[in-house]
Structure 1
């Protein structure tokens, strides 16, 4: 299509005109809405292909009263766990032609900023909260987002959620650790965000682990706490080895902590799997290469399922809250 000497990009109105439907129908096809009949969908898709139309998010917002954007509130974006979680979320949302806007909480000041309804986080069509359930805080601030919301890597009554059964994961780690010789130790995770509101992820891992040891009659000789900062994790690993009686077994409740412990063990010339046995939690992509015994989490699948729950709400589901539970499994390797 040419206006003067300038080629004009086809618009959603052009697609609707060529397909013989309304703009709203084109918008629903672009959003993969299930209400569009097969023959109508095919006609719209054919018009899109013939015109070489590329959807414009702003035009789609104007046409359909939607932003076609999903906001994701998550603690950080730099750890492997959240990179994998975002992969699962984005794969599902992009397949449904939604863009993803990422809002890392990071610290107290940024959280405070996100708790205002005027922020960009609440101008999307839907909201994903990862690990931390902010719904109660939003209610306290009387923030009326009007958006469908889903929790991922977290569970709460009355909210759609896809979550890992961390208590079972901790129990599996504890049952296996109880079969190994030597004193038993554990490293837990705490971040600044934990001081602002509760996440049950590591609390549940600890609960399952401690209960399994108690059932097996094995004491826990020492507990340590670290953040996700690599230097802090290495410092805690050094402190644990300074205090431990060897041989020993350590449950590091996240692979990042387990990796720091492996590094410290190697630096001291100790033998992994003999002097120090290490059990992690996550099964990150590098875990197999480092021969780390760990709890495998289907992180990407959990993210994909959470996205599906939210897309269902956006597609018209008005039923009760749904919960999708995922269970870790123990992968035994040379570190333990």
Structure 2
């Protein structure tokens, strides 16, 4: 049997080929009833668009470039999942560009690399406000920030001040000395980010409102070995029982592991509050701040797709707030 064509879809749905094309491109200028008829015809015929023909006919790449610091953390895996799911539903391919270091960022900023040949651009996490202000970013194509905020671009981001405040308010209800573990906020002085600074700001704000103080604060780079070393030092110096706000689940897990190895009881001798609600957090009994990471990625993708469909207007911001999930560790 021959493969169904776009003309077959148009005949089955009773519309023109141009209408089918607009539906495939997720264009807003299609009535809901018409869109449903086209989608039903596509499903009935099991029609799959030819991506090469689509690119040639449309004069577009149907590719989205995603620039992000690294691709090896759980957070970015989840973020990419949300972005890719939405883009693929709209039949856009995704090209991922991990920056890794300053030289690579400078190369992207200073030349017409492959990343800028896409129809749209997603930039993740690091603070790009200054780069926008300096007009150093090549944003001829629609651009969206995810997990970062700038008034100059569409963005979807997490309210980390709120998350830190919620963690602090809850920590103040628990007995014992208060401690905190923070993530080192710069990688090679490149990926400056307000994420952990904002979490700390909200946490300290809540403590001040409750008249509580931290006994000590500890800083770790974002890897398992460093987190475990920091957890060891904290517990060596801690006054038990205590409550610890670990500003990332990775730090919280290291603290729980170190406590268990010492024969301490998480949730009693050491109460641990994390931040992220990674997929394994429930099985570890970790009290943590849940971040809707996938949803944030989906919303960022939807903002970009709307621009690609012709939306005009000022920059839009979508803010997400973390929610406390209480489990046995606190």
TM above 0.5, yes or no, is yes
Offset, 1:158: 2.5
Question: Is the contact made by 1:57 and 1:67 (CA closer than 8 Å) also made in structure 2?
Answer: no
Task: Check conservation: 1:115, 1:141, Cα contact below 8 A.
Answer: no
Counterpart in the other structure of 1:334: 328
Q: CA deviation at 1:285?
A: 1.3
Which of 182, 198, 204 does residue 204 from structure 1 map onto?
Answer: 198
Match of 1:116 among 88, 107, 110: 110
How far 1:35 sits from its partner (Å)?
A: 2.0
Displacement of 1:50 in angstroms is 8.7
Q: Any idea what the Cα deviations from partners look like across 1:29-77, whole Å, max 9, x if unmatched?
A: 3212122456876786688679865334333222112111111112222
2:173 aligned with 1:179: yes
Counterpart in the other structure of 1:269: 263
Equivalent in 291, 295, 320 of residue 297 of structure 1 = 291
For 2:254 and 2:263, locate their aligned partners in 1 and report how far apart those are by CA, in whole Å: 15
1:137 to 131, 139, 149: 131
Between stretches 152-161 and 306-315, larger displacement belongs to: 152-161
Deviation at 1:131, TM superposition (A): 1.3
SS of corresponding position for 1:180: coil
Contact between 1:71 and 1:128, CA under 8 Å: does it hold in 2? yes
> What are the superposed Cα offsets for residues 8-36 of structure 1, whole Å, 9 maximum, x if unpaired?
x78779988998856x6554332121224
Structure 1, residues 125-175: CA drift from partner, whole Å, max 9, x if none? 111112124364366474433111111111221211111111111011111
1:265 Cα deviation after fit: 1.1
Give the deviation of 1:212 after TM superposition: 0.7
Kindly report the root-mean-square deviation, in angstroms, between the aligned alpha carbons of the 2 structures. 2.7
1:167 corresponding residue in structure 2: 161
Partner of 1:4: none
1:224 is paired with a residue of what secondary structure? strand
Distance 1:118 1:138, change over 3 A: farther
Mind listing any 5+ residue stretches in structure 1 that lack a counterpart?
Answer: 2-6
Q: For 1:1-336, what aligned pairs fall within 5 Å after superposition?
A: 21=16, 26-36=20-30, 54-134=48-128, 136-137=130-131, 140=134, 142-193=136-187, 195-336=189-330
Q: Which 10-residue stretch deviates more, 35-44 or 54-63?
A: 35-44
Greater Cα shift, 50-59 or 77-86: 50-59
Q: Normalized against structure 1, the TM-score is what?
A: 0.87
Q: 1:139 to 1:204 in 2, by over 3 A?
A: closer
Count of aligned residue pairs for this structure pair: 329
**Distance verdict in 2 for CA 1:145–1:335, change over 3 Å:** same
* 1:283-306 Cα deviation digits (max 9, x unpaired): 111111111111111111111111
> Which consecutive residues of structure 2, in runs of 5 or more, have no partner in the other structure?
none
Partner SS, residue 184 of structure 1: strand
Pair 1:192–1:111, CA change in 2 (3 A): farther
